Structure 1
Amino acid sequence: MPPEPHPTTLIGSVQRAMRLLEAVAAREQGAPAKQLAREAGLALPTAYHLLRTLAHEGYLRREKGLFVLGEAAERLSSSGAQQKRRSTMNDALAQWRDSIGVPVYYATYRDGEIEVICVADSPASPAVEEWADFRETGHAHAIGQCLLSQLDEKARKDHLDRYPVQSITPYTVRDSESLRRRLERAGRLEPVIERQEYALGTVCAAIPLTVGSCASTMAISLPSHQADRLLPAVRQLQGEIGRLLGTLAVSISI
């Protein structure tokens, strides 16, 4: 078994490669190897070897003698921005969970599917257990009903053709026509209220969000014996969202 490379050699190579990546990122139109070597403080043969390696791995690409960022580097940048947005959203949900005293959910409708992105709950205020797939039972819970109410007729029909209305509890809406009438009555900015339609012993409310290009919602849930808290709590959440709308604007697309 060959000996492992000396750690300082590996670290030095990574440092030099990172300096080159930073130099390329600073040049929107790209730059030639000689210029990048000079800006990174590297000998040209060393720089050229690293540039070729980075290009081979997809972190850079060469166009007409100029090196520009490649797809792999762009994916890293996108992933980092997405993680930052998700962290911002998680922090906001945790803050609202603590100030209102309820579990808080954020969900979107993306690529034809209901997707719960973030949930903030606590041992004292646990989230609803997903005992039936949220994606398949959107007609039965406040999150799904709120998202479906924001779709156009064609997209809504497509969703319900794939996930037909079915009884989840004795309180679930009975058929697609009854659901359609309910969704059409939903106010554009009004909370959607659901009582024990998805989970017995639980009431939920969801708020439609108009920030971003896809249908989104914030929701809360409570035990049914605390149903009198539901409407005041969701109104409080609406106020909190309004105050932090600037933060949400950069986080909503996660």
Structure 2
Amino acid sequence: MRLLEAVGAHEEGAPAKQLAREAGLALPTAYHLLRTLTHEGYLRREKGVFVLGAAAERLVSNGAQQNRRSMIGEALEHWRDSIGVPVYFAVYREGDVEVVGVADTPGSPAVEEWADFRETAHAHAIGQCLLSQLDEDSRQDHLSRYRVQSITPYTVRDNRTLLRRLASMGRMQPVVERQEYALGTVCAAVPITAGTTAATLAISVPVHQADRLLPAVRELQSDVGRKLGSLAFSISI
């Protein structure tokens, strides 16, 4: 690890003798470890100096990814605790709905994914909010791969009805869905601006607490600006 840190401190790389000195290692030991690290892909030797290899870069990338996910989790937990409802964060990536994070409690559990979220975007607030942010071609492409079908008595029935609903949605207005995905649950989702990627924050409450939904989503909207950076950062995950 000390050798990796020493190499990482030199953008253009450094020779073995210098790395051994900076890592506080005997030269024979440093040579042995440098050969091993190079063999395993953590270092590369180029023109007599050692630079970080692909394996080390993957470690850095994975660490940054975990850090971003932790930031997202902390933001969702903040809203869960302050508003008192389950909170979801999702993006539309490579043609699919992807739920990046969920924060809930035993007393206020998240909606169970009983039907694949990717295949039922037409039926839940998260999916409808994401689809509403797509251009017409991307929206049509999604619907050509995932057929609109009723999964509860309240689900939108066909593509035409869904497209008409999506077209009527205000650009930054919350999307409300009442028992279209899960009986006994109402949900709301708000669009998130994060570069060119469609993203959304959503909440859910039991249907007998439906009067809490709009006040809760307005509270979420009013607070989201302060923590938007950590969510937008996650788009690169």
Q: TM-score range by the shorter chain?
A: over 0.9
Paired residues in the alignment total 237
For the pair shown, the structure with the greater C-alpha radius of gyration is 1
1:144 aligns to 2:127 (yes or no): yes
For 1:87, the equivalent position in structure 2 comes to 70
Structure 2 residue identity aligned to 1:31? A
Structure 2 residue identity aligned to 1:128? V
For 1:187, the equivalent position in structure 2 comes to 170
For 2:49, the equivalent position in structure 1 comes to 66
The answer (yes or no) to whether the contact 2:97–2:117 under 8 Å persists in 1 is: yes
For 2:89, the equivalent position in structure 1 comes to 106
The equivalent position to 1:214 in structure 2, one of 188, 197, 201, is 197
The answer (yes or no) to whether the contact 2:68–2:230 under 8 Å persists in 1 is: no
Q: What does 1:165-204 align with in structure 2 at a 5 Å threshold?
A: 165-204=148-187
1:241 aligns to 2:224 (yes or no): yes
Q: What is the distance in 1 between the residues matched to 2:12 and 2:3?
A: 15
Q: What is the distance in 1 between the residues matched to 2:14 and 2:211?
A: 64
Most deviating of 209-218 and 224-233: 209-218
Structure 1 residue identity aligned to 2:159? S
1:53 aligns to 2:33 (yes or no): no
For 2:104, the equivalent position in structure 1 comes to 121
Q: TM-score, normalised by structure 2?
A: 0.96
The answer (yes or no) to whether the contact 1:103–1:120 under 8 Å persists in 2 is: yes
Q: How far did 1:152 drift?
A: 1.6
Q: How far did 1:141 drift?
A: 0.2
Query: What does the per-residue CA deviation read over 1:178-235, in whole Å, with 9 as the maximum and x for residues that have no partner?
Result: 1111111122211111111111111100011102442111100011121111111001
For 1:21, the equivalent position in structure 2 comes to 4
Report SS of the residue matched to 1:219. strand
Q: What is the distance in 1 between the residues matched to 2:12 and 2:221?
A: 44
Report SS of the residue matched to 2:197. coil
Q: How far did 1:112 drift?
A: 1.3
For 1:225, the equivalent position in structure 2 comes to 208
Any unmatched runs of 5+ in structure 2?
A: none
Q: How far did 1:45 drift?
A: 2.1
The answer (yes or no) to whether the contact 1:202–1:222 under 8 Å persists in 2 is: yes
Q: What is the distance in 2 between the residues matched to 1:29 and 1:50?
A: 20
The answer (yes or no) to whether the contact 1:166–1:175 under 8 Å persists in 2 is: yes
The answer (yes or no) to whether the contact 1:212–1:253 under 8 Å persists in 2 is: no
For 1:153, the equivalent position in structure 2 comes to 136
Q: TM-score, normalised by structure 1?
A: 0.89
Q: How far did 1:55 drift?
A: 0.8
Residue identity over aligned pairs, in percent, reads 76
Any unmatched runs of 5+ in structure 1?
A: 1-17
Q: What is the distance in 2 between the residues matched to 1:240 and 1:211?
A: 16
